[in-house]
A = this chain, B = another copy of it.
Amino acid sequence: PLCLCWALSPAAAATANIVLLLMDDMGWGDLGAFGEPSKETPNLDQMAAEGMLFLDFYTASPLCSPSRAALLTGRLPVRNGFYTTNGHARNAYTPQDIVGGIPDSELLLPELLKKAGYTNKIIGKWHLGHRPQFHPLRHGFDEWFGSPNCHFGPYDSTERPNIPVYRDWEMAGRYYEDFKIDLKTGEANLTQLYLQEALDFISKQQASQQPFFLYWAIDATHAPVYASKQFLGTSQRGLYGDAVREIDDSVGKILKHLQQLGISENTFVFFTSDNGAALISAPKQGGSNGPFLCGKQTTFEGGMREPAIAWWPGHIPAGGVSHQLGSVMDLFSTSLSLAGLQPPSDRQIDGIDLLPVILQGKLIDRPIFYYRGNELMAVRAGLYKAHYWTWSNSWEEHGKGIDFCPGQSVAGVTTHTQEEHTHLPLLFHLGRDPGEKYPLSFASEEYQRAVEHISGLVQQHKATLVPGQPQLNVCDQAVMNWSPPGCEKLGKCLKAPESDPKKCSWPH
Tell me, yes or no, whether A507 is within 8 Å of chain B by CB.
no
Contact (Cβ within 8 A) B291 A432: no
- The interface bits of chain A over 32-63 (1 if a CB of B lies within 8 angstroms of the residue's CB, else 0) are 10111111000000000000010110000000
Cβ contact of A291, chosen from B35, B240, B409, cutoff 8 A: B35
Stoichiometry, copies per complex: 2
Tell me, yes or no, whether A10 is within 8 Å of chain B by CB.
no
Stretch of A215-223, A337-345, A434-442 with 4 or more beta carbons under 8 angstroms from chain B: A434-442
The CA of A406 and the CA of B437, in the complex, are separated in Å by 7
Residues of chain B within 8 A (CB-CB) of A432 are 236-238, 240-241, 283-284
Report the nearest B residue to A321, measured CB to CB: B39
Main secondary structure of the interface of A (DSSP, over half): loop
Residues of chain B within 8 A (CB-CB) of A36 are 35, 291
Contact (Cβ within 8 A) B236 A383: yes
Tell me, yes or no, whether A408 is within 8 Å of chain B by CB.
yes
User: From residue 9 to 29 of chain A, which have CB atoms closer than 8 A to chain B?
Assistant: 28-29
Q: A291-B290, A407-B408, A438-B283 are in contact. Are A431 and B35 (CB under 8 A)?
A: no
User: From residue 293 to 327 of chain A, which have CB atoms closer than 8 A to chain B?
Assistant: 293, 321, 323
Contact (Cβ within 8 A) B437 A291: no
Tell me, yes or no, whether A433 is within 8 Å of chain B by CB.
yes
User: From residue 389 to 445 of chain A, which have CB atoms closer than 8 A to chain B?
Assistant: 406-410, 429-435, 437-438
Interface size grouping (class) on chain A: 35 or more
Cβ contact of A282, chosen from B293, B431, B438, cutoff 8 A: B438
Cβ contact of A55, chosen from B29, B39, B53, cutoff 8 A: B39
Tell me, yes or no, whether A235 is within 8 Å of chain B by CB.
yes
Contact (Cβ within 8 A) B407 A283: no
The CA of A403 and the CA of B163, in the complex, are separated in Å by 48
Residues of chain B within 8 A (CB-CB) of A29 are 35, 291
Measured CB to CB, the closest approach of chain B to A218, in angstroms, equals 22
Report the nearest B residue to A436, measured CB to CB: B407
Measured CB to CB, the closest approach of chain B to A53, in angstroms, equals 8
Measured CB to CB, the closest approach of chain B to A254, in angstroms, equals 22
Which of A283, A407, A408 is packed against the most chain B CB atoms within 10 Å? A407
Tell me, yes or no, whether A288 is within 8 Å of chain B by CB.
yes
Residues of chain B within 8 A (CB-CB) of A35 are 29, 34-36, 290-291
Report the nearest B residue to A409, measured CB to CB: B409
Residues of chain B within 8 A (CB-CB) of A55 are 37-39
Q: A283-B438, A321-B39 are in contact. Are A431 and B237 (CB under 8 A)?
A: yes
Residues of chain B within 8 A (CB-CB) of A237 are 431-432
The CA of A125 and the CA of B433, in the complex, are separated in Å by 28
Q: A288-B291, A290-B290, A429-B238 are in contact. Are A37 and B409 (CB under 8 A)?
A: no
The CA of A283 and the CA of B436, in the complex, are separated in Å by 10
Report the nearest B residue to A293, measured CB to CB: B407
The CA of A121 and the CA of B238, in the complex, are separated in Å by 45
Given contacts A35-B290, A35-B291, A408-B409, 6 further A-B contacts (CB under 8 A): A37-B56, A236-B431, A238-B429, A291-B291, A406-B437, A407-B410
Closest 6 CB pairs of A and B: A35-B35, A236-B431, A407-B437, A238-B432, A283-B433, A283-B432
Q: Please report A residues at the B interface, Cβ cutoff 8 Å.
A: 28-29, 32, 34-39, 53, 55-56, 235-238, 240-241, 282-284, 288, 290-291, 293, 321, 323, 383, 406-410, 429-435, 437-438
